[in-house]
Amino acid sequence: MIFWQLFASFFKIGLFTIGGGYAMLALIQQEIVRLGWMTPQEFVDVVGIAEVTPGPIAINSATFVGFRTGGIPGALLASFAVVLPSLLCVSVVSRMWNRYKEARLVQFMFAGIRPVAAGLVAAAAVLIALATFRYVQGFPGKLWTGLIAAGCFYGVGVKKWNPIKVLMIAAVLGLLLFR
Amino acid sequence: MQQKRASLWNLFSVFFRIGAFTFGGGLAMLPLIEREVVEVQGWVEQEEILDIVALSQSVPGAIAVNSAIFIGLRLRGLAGALAALLGVMTPSVVIILIIAHFFTQFQSNPYVMRAFSGVKAAVIGLVAAAAWRVGRQVVTSPYALAASLVALVLSVFDLLPIVWIIILGGISGIIYFSRREGGVAK
């Protein structure tokens, strides 16, 4: 029974998360608290963990809640349930894309979408910068944050360094510089 | 177009790497996906990446997951999609399972938090780098500049959901380019 509920809830969470990331935190919280799987306070902790671990926040929280409620089988089931809508929807969209992408109207549509997508990436940079600077306490911390961000921008954006190495260097710098 | 053939193991391992280093939301991994999928593996053309990202943002689910499925499907059909999906999920699932055991110790560990402050700062730079590289390639006309600025403002001030911004971009592209091509207006 618990497994069916886990599956249904995380399938629903996966299905209603459009645009990625933080938009769906409210939905996850609503589901988890409604079913009594976690208190709101525990949920805040899960979000904190999701932020410091790699991977999409949807999968992070699915794995965590699934493990808490149903052990390792629960964790695997919830993680699978949250990505299943993606698998279904992307299969459909991808098939349509392959069939129609040469059509003139579709080409016009993508010529319109590409600059918009670029603008959305720039917006994400602005929003992440604002959120991070709000979170970092004190002047030295903000200064180091700005310098590391600028260095990563130059390294990855201009010099085409490997983003994985840049992230590792940033983690070491964080260890040395932040208090 | 000749794409390099991808083995299922190859798809799994490339997306495993991408999954293991995706912090702070899907877009931070855009430079990484671009590097792995376009430059190193040659699976996808440079400009297609942006189409894949736009499509990934328009369907339900996390961007990293959706683009893994898209690319896997393109290269090897359903088996490829499953391989890429498992690859991108595995690091996340394994790490959370470990942390779920050591929940409180992990969260209050000052070294972890400090290292993570560095990672958070780096994520700003990574997303800005993605915007810079994508923008330089795409913003080549006054129309494109206007469209990207409008999208930027709508999104930063949270005036419209992202899906609607993308849909509006598609509609205005259809209107603008068909009028231009039809010679109705410049």
Of the given ranges (A49-53, A124-128, B154-158), which has the lowest mean pLDDT? A49-53
Domain housing A20: 2-100
Q: Is the same domain home to A96 and A128? A: no
Q: Is the same domain home to A149 and A112? A: no
Instruction: Provide ipTM, 2 decimals.
Output: 0.77
Q: Is the same domain home to A29 and A80? A: yes
CB of A74 closer than 8 Å to CB of A42 = no
- In sequence order, the β-bridge partners of residue A18 are B60
- Report which of residues B60 and A176 the model is more confident about: A176
Q: Is the same domain home to A109 and A177? A: no
Q: What is the DSSP string of chain B?
A: --PPP--HHHHHHHHHHHHHT--SSGGGGHHHHIIIIIIIS--S-HHHHHHHHHHHHHSBS-HHHHHHHHHHHHHHHHHHHHHHHHHHHHHHHHHHHHHHHTHHHHHT-HHHHHHHHHHHHHHHHHHHHHHHHHHHHH--SHHHHHHHHHHHHHHHTT-S-HHHHHHHHHHHHHHHHHHHHHTS--
The pLDDT assigned to B45 comes to 86
Q: How many domains does chain A have?
A: 3
Q: Is the same domain home to A19 and A77? A: yes
Chain A with chain B: Cβ pairs closer than 8 A: 390
Q: Is the same domain home to A87 and A14? A: yes
Q: Is the same domain home to A117 and A154? A: no
Q: What is the mean pLDDT of residues B77-87?
A: 95
Q: Is the same domain home to A93 and A126? A: no
pLDDT digits (tens, 9 = 90+) for A55-81: 777 888 889 889 988 899 999 999 999
Q: Which residues of B touch A170 (CB under 8 A)?
A: 118-119, 121-122
CB within 8 Å of B56: residues ≥ 6 apart: A20, A90, B26, B63, B66, B67, B70
Give CA–CA dist A80/A61, Å, rounded: 12
Q: Scan residues 126-165 of B and list those with Cβ closer than 8 Å to A.
A: 126-135, 138-139, 143-145, 147-152, 155-156, 161-163, 165
Q: Which two tokens stand for residue B97?
A: 């399972």
Q: Is the same domain home to A38 and A62? A: yes
CA atoms within 13 A on the CB side of A25: 15
Q: Is the same domain home to A17 and A47? A: yes
Give residue limits of the domains in chain B: 8-107
Given pLDDT bands bounded at 50, 70 and 90, which one contains residue A24?
A: low
- Assess A57–B contact: CB distance below 8 Å, yes or no: yes
Q: Is the same domain home to A31 and A78? A: yes
Q: Is the same domain home to A143 and A112? A: no
Q: Which residues of A touch B61 (CB under 8 A)?
A: 14, 17, 20, 58, 83, 85-86, 89-90
Contact B59 A18 (CB under 8 A): yes
- Assess B40–A contact: CB distance below 8 Å, yes or no: no
Q: What's the Cα-to-Cα distance from B99 to each of A10, B95, B111, rounded to whole Å?
A: 20, 6, 15
Nearest residue of A to residue B93, measured between CA atoms: A63
Amino acid at B78: L
Q: What is the mean pLDDT of residues B6-32?
A: 84
